[in-house]
Amino acid sequence: MKIKTLTSAIVLSGATLIALPSLAADTIKVGVLHSLSGTMAISETTLKDTVLMMVDEQNKKGGLLGKKIEAVVVDPASNWPLFAEKGRELLTKDKVDVIFGSWTSVSRKSVLPVLEELNGLMFYPVQYEGEESSKNVFYTGAAPNQQAIPAVDYLMNDLGVERFVLAGTDYVYPRTTNKILEAYLKGKGVAEQDIMINYTPFGHSDWQSIVSDIKKFGGEGKKTAVVSTINGDANVPFYKELGNQGVSSEDIPVVAFSVGEEELSGLDTKPLVGHLAAWNYFQSVETPENEAFIKAWHAYTKNSDRVTNDPMEATYIGFKMWANAVTKAGTTDVDAVEQAMIGQTVPNLTGGVAVMNKNHHLSKPVLIGEIQDDGQFEVVWKTDGVVPGDAWSDFLPGSKDLISDWTAPIKCGNYNTVTKTCSGQNY
């Protein structure tokens, strides 16, 4: 943080002296870059509230480095280019020391060049497609090997699924994730004709023909499931149409990567009961840490009906790690905090410990939950321990030889282990 040290100025005009007041408060500023309007507000507004809660809690502990933390909230309004503009505004005008923000990968990729140009720091709390590692971003959500791959394994091994519908919103996260999943499924012996891929725009509302196609695809004699990377409020009419056409979880189960407790809180859950979601956290998990988090959330929001979800836990872990790293570094300087972040540990909310690895990705457990009629999830499968997040997929030819390591001597986001060279900072 750059703090103006000028506390007063004296302007001499004849015999008149004019004293100017302090120009800046001595605070540490946290930028909040989440959509509070538009198609993604259904998911992102809660993350804004989570950051504000964490700021409030940290200030009650005395702040950081003897300074109060101040949150600066902006609304990029589900407008992807606006994420870059608002990110630049946070870093140059508001002089924030860190940003917590973005949900969709297209919004993250929009602000990423700004972060790298201005050497800003951002924590990204949502599952994503991988194939990226930046010095300026910490990825606290799931990489594909911490969500998509285990979910598909569960469908095949535990439910006997042989045919797959890869249904997603039309942008980089679903397309890249499905590219990885298609390669993975074919490597497992699934035939090309047993994989159906479909994309729809953000906010898509007319699902009648698509659900009809899914129903037909699933009615050809092989156990079928939908792997959903549908994002935002399009999930509401999608699940409603499944119910309208009588597609139950027993017939064609849906495993979603972007539907959690917050999204379900606005839905009639009766048609959804039995469908699945893969995350690293569910509110229903009973641990002392989760109980304390839920209690704090309800107290902060003054609403005992407010649910918690996976990206909230990722925000919680990221904020605590950032605060610890700032304390360790003794400064909010981005380069110092970035190095102090590596190796940070924070107890996660479902049991065990989250670890920040050299590739700026967390080690986290993977859980699969079944939707209940109260909008919560019953955990039906989980990993034995934590899974380290992979920045680069083992199943794509251009990525399988790449690693990310932001420690010396490599300090590279895409280091080729065969050629022993760095292809550039990120990709």
* Domain extents in the chain: 27-141+286-363, 145-284
pLDDT of residue 25: 53
Is the pLDDT score of 37 beyond 70? Answer: yes
Neighbours of 11 (CB within 10 A): 9
Q: Between 288-301 and 310-329, two packed helices, what is the crossing angle to 10 degrees?
A: 100
Q: Using only C-alpha atoms, what is the Rg of the chain?
A: 23
Classify domain 145-284 by CATH number: 3.40.50.2300
SS3 per-residue string spanning 66-107: CEEEEEEEECCCCCHHHHHHHHHHHHHCCCCCEEEECCCHHH
Instruction: Name 195's bridge partners.
Output: 164
| Average pLDDT for 51-68 | 98
Range 255-264 burial, b when 16+ CB lie within 10 A, else e:
bbbbbbbbbb
Work out whether the CA dihedral 140, 145, 150, 156 comes out positive or negative.
positive
Contact present, 365 and 317 (Cβ < 8 Å): no
Q: How far, in Å, are 143, 243, 278, 324 from residue 319 at the CA level?
A: 19, 39, 23, 9
The mean pLDDT of the chain is 92
The pLDDT confidence band at residue 263, using thresholds 50, 70 and 90, is: confident
Contact present, 172 and 129 (Cβ < 8 Å): yes
Q: Between 41-60 and 310-329, two packed helices, what is the crossing angle to 10 degrees?
A: 40
27-141+286-363 shares its CATH topology with 145-284: yes
Contacts of residue 326, Cβ cutoff 8 Å, sequence gap at least 6: 28, 64, 65, 332, 337, 340
Please write the tens of the pLDDT for every residue from 93-119. Answer: 999 999 999 999 999 999 999 999 999
Distance CA 345, CA 321 (A): 7
| CATH of the structural domain 27-141+286-363, one choice from 3.40.50.2300, 3.40.50.620, 3.40.50.740, 3.10.129.10 | 3.40.50.2300
Contact present, 83 and 33 (Cβ < 8 Å): yes
Please write the tens of the pLDDT for every residue from 323-363. Answer: 999 999 999 999 999 999 999 999 999 999 999 999 999 99
Q: Strand 163-169 vs strand 195-200: parallel, antiparallel, or unpaired?
A: parallel
Residues making up the chain, counted from first to last: 427
Q: Strand 353-356 vs strand 345-347: parallel, antiparallel, or unpaired?
A: antiparallel
Is the pLDDT score of 205 beyond 80? Answer: yes
Alpha helix locations (H) across 188-227?
208-217
